[in-house]
Amino acid sequence: MATFLYRLGRLAFRRRRLVALIWVALLAVAGVGAATAPSPGSTSFSIPGTEAQRAFDLLEKRFPGQSADGAAARVVFKAPDGQKITDPKNKAAVEKAVGELTGPQVAQTANPFQVQAVSKDATTAYVSVTYKVDANSLTDDSLDTLKGAATHGRDAGLTVETGGSALQAIPEAGGTSEIIGIAVSAVVLVITFGSLIAAGMPLLTAIIGVGIGVSSIAALASALDLGSTTSTLATMIGLAVGIDYALFIVSRYRAELAEGREREEAAGRAVGTAGSAVVFAGLTVVIALAGLAVVNIPMLTKMGLAAAGTVAIAVLIALTLIPALLGFAGRKVLSRKDRKAEPGADRGEDKPNMGTRWARFVLRRPALVLVAGVIGLGAVAVPAASLELGLPDDGAQSTSTTQRKAYDLLSEGFGPGFNGPLMVVVDGSGADDPKAAAQAVAKTVAGLDNVAAVAPVTPASFNKAGDTAIVTVIPKSKPSSKQTEDLVHAIRDKGAATAADADARVLVTGQTAMNIDVSQKLNDALLPYLGLVVGLAFLLLMVVFRSVLVPLKAALGFLLSVVAALGAVVAVFQWGWLGGLFGVEETGPIMSMMPIFMVGVVFGLAMDYEVFLVTRMREAFVHGERPGQAIVTGFRHGARVVSAAAVIMISVFAGFIGSSESMVKMIGFGLAIAVFFDAFVVRMAIVPAVLALLGKSAWWLPGWLGRILPNVDVEGEGLQKQLGDGAGADSHRDADRDSDPDAKREPVSV
């Protein structure tokens, strides 16, 4: 591996104009493809294997043209204080607004005075609007019509607010979030490298990689039915890993130049050594993201695969475009001070840097550092025990939005359950009397706890064939509550039993039921997904480090950091701690996909730092250093760069905390805090402490397993032999031994 990448790096350096031209051409092709691609059509959202999805599929067959999974809106009208919505003037204003709610995408509009959608005190009424397409496919004209009806109602003196999936916000893939992350990354890179040229390379290549990835997603969005959130995740992950991967190769290149290498040779060695770590770090991220397919939620699968593709592009760019740009940059990639110094001259490296001092501190007190790190993360993880999962609805919106105001008006006028009605589908195709079966189900459901109302079974409840009925059930509790979830399960149990007696069947669906089923499906998939991802990455890391205990330690450290991150997410978004600092206006259940999403993404990113940091230790150990010396060497060369990479990744993710979309805000915060815990607590403290306690045992591998595993030479041992660096390695090892106060305690093992 190292030898192949060494040759690739030198080739890219020599053919830098061709390499740069190829990547620019790919960016142009992707951009043209995105610009000329047809607009995405209706983006399907299906959850295979759930009862709510089976009910939607049945409704599509039995009620064609009603668009059971189409967007919906509720326009809520409230009369001025002291008046009733049924007063002639107010009633006329509402009916006028209802008349305006028409258009080619509108499936049905219900007049509130004809369908009893008026509150008991006659102060509030709502208009239900259903559409033929989903929210992402609504045209501007349809949305303008909806907003215009509300505006005209306000002009008549009414309080009018609009909610429902039709107003669902689409997270923006570009904007201030990325700009903030890039700006902070630029500052960190300039401080780290002391050179604008060196700092600009990771930013430039990351932007090119993300540009190719996101443009490709846009070009294929219509053909592959990709949702709007797909490009958001690809941008978030692509920027973070793209900058980090380039950072490590540029840093290694500068180190090779400092040792007096020629520029082409330095580029080859940088790609051969740091590039090997980039390849395997990228593989762990790709495995984690592609593994989201096991959850069997198409939207999540597409998001994972698209982000994995962007990561793969980032790896290829780091291995080819970075050495090409290094060829153009010359010695300007060095800081001004280093450019003035003679190549190979002493730059004061004998003076211990902060990474070296920290590593020696950990070596002196490994047990104390280990216990402190574990207890600290354990304390942060405590709130995770109170984790409540759900999917956000309008009740989680900011109180300043019209969706939240409409939600509150409905709760006040009709009860909280009106914001999450349940659709009970009675399939009587096998029953002798479908009408009697539907009425029996409705009677049974009406007797359940937490039921506020059950719509009467009328001929309008049935399809044209008269064999399937829709019964609307209004819970007493709000959609995201545990009581509503219990009611859904109760309807499915007792309602199904009643229907079975009449040779019919019952299915519960609707947005609320769909959210409950999605949460359950994600919970059920968490452990299998965790086992798959951690298992595959464990095998990959075993190949990289040729050790059993190092990959095991890496996996356990990751679990500790991800649970701590979930604890922080619960404390902020569910409990409201420091919510004002992060712009959390409304607390509530944690998004149901958050745990499995964090497991996938954070595991891949966590392994980045494990590979980058520990590979340098493994490299030193293979070249003859003692275990303690290897830890110090790894930190001397890698701590500063890993710290900079972590700060960059944190800044990229933290930039998304400013998003107005609660889902994006929560993901940005969760990933940022998880990277912070994993990079600075687990990898920088717990990892060296564990390796110090294990000593040589950390690198133990059974002989039979060593013969089976392929030797990919990530640490570049074969490359060193090929290049004849044995003497140089010995001299560096002797210098390290002389500067290590513990070096005389045991001989160097070769």
125: helix, coil or strand? strand
Residue range 207-227: average pLDDT?
Answer: 83
User: What are the DSSP calls for 199-251, one per residue?
Assistant: HHHHHHHHHHHHHHHHHHHHHHHHHHT--HHHHHHHHHHHHHHHHHHHHHHHH
pLDDT tens per residue, range 233-269: 788 788 888 888 998 899 889 888 888 888 899 899 8
Written as one letter, the residue type at 124 is T
CA–CA separation, 291 and 535 (whole Å): 11
pLDDT tens per residue, range 687-708: 999 999 999 898 888 888 888 8
H/E element, 451: strand 451-454
Q: 30-44, 73-87, 347-361, 455-469: which range is least confident on average?
A: 30-44
Token pair belonging to 575? 């409990």
How many CB atoms are located within 10 Å of the residue 364 CB?
Answer: 12
CA–CA separation, 20 and 13 (whole Å): 10
C-alpha dist (Å) from residue 348 to 341, 345, 666: 11, 9, 44
Token pair belonging to 573? 């978004």
Q: How confident is the model at residue 456 (pLDDT cuts 50, 70, 90)?
A: confident
Q: How confident is the model at residue 745 (pLDDT cuts 50, 70, 90)?
A: very low
Res 101: pLDDT: 87
CA–CA separation, 51 and 517 (whole Å): 7
Q: How confident is the model at residue 377 (pLDDT cuts 50, 70, 90)?
A: very high
pLDDT tens per residue, range 619-671: 788 778 898 999 999 898 888 888 888 888 888 888 878 776 777 788 889 98
Q: How confident is the model at residue 281 (pLDDT cuts 50, 70, 90)?
A: confident
pLDDT tens per residue, range 18-70: 999 999 999 999 999 888 877 655 455 677 888 888 888 888 888 876 666 67
What mean pLDDT is reported for the chain? 83
474: helix, coil or strand? strand
CA–CA separation, 458 and 470 (whole Å): 10
- Beta-strand ranges (E) seen in 29-119 are 72-78, 106-110
Per the CB < 8 A criterion, the answer to whether 24 and 286 are in contact is no
Residue range 212-219: average pLDDT?
Answer: 88
pTM of the predicted structure, to 2 decimals: 0.78
Q: Which three-class secondary structure string do you get for 15-66? A: CHHHHHHHHHHHHHHHHHHHHHCCCCCCCCCCCCCCHHHHHHHHHHHHCCCC
Most confident of the following: 15-19, 53-57, 286-290, 334-338 = 15-19
Res 732: pLDDT: 40
Q: Which residue has the tokens 């969005």?
A: 221
448: helix, coil or strand? coil
Burial 656-679 (b: 16+ CB within 10 A, else e): bbebebbbbbbbbbbbbbbbbbbb
Written as one letter, the residue type at 178 is E
Token pair belonging to 179? 């700009």
Q: Which residues, 6 or more positions from 113, have their beta carbon under 8 angstroms from its beta carbon?
A: 86, 91, 94, 95, 125
pLDDT of residue 394 exceeding 90:
no
Res 176: pLDDT: 60
Per the CB < 8 A criterion, the answer to whether 670 and 550 are in contact is no
CA–CA separation, 8 and 349 (whole Å): 30
Q: Give the strand pairing for 422-427 and 590-591.
A: unpaired
Token pair belonging to 638? 């890698």
Per the CB < 8 A criterion, the answer to whether 197 and 329 are in contact is yes
Q: How confident is the model at residue 85 (pLDDT cuts 50, 70, 90)?
A: very high
Token pair belonging to 234? 């690809």
Give which of 275, 277, 175, 274 is closest to 231, Cα–Cα: 175
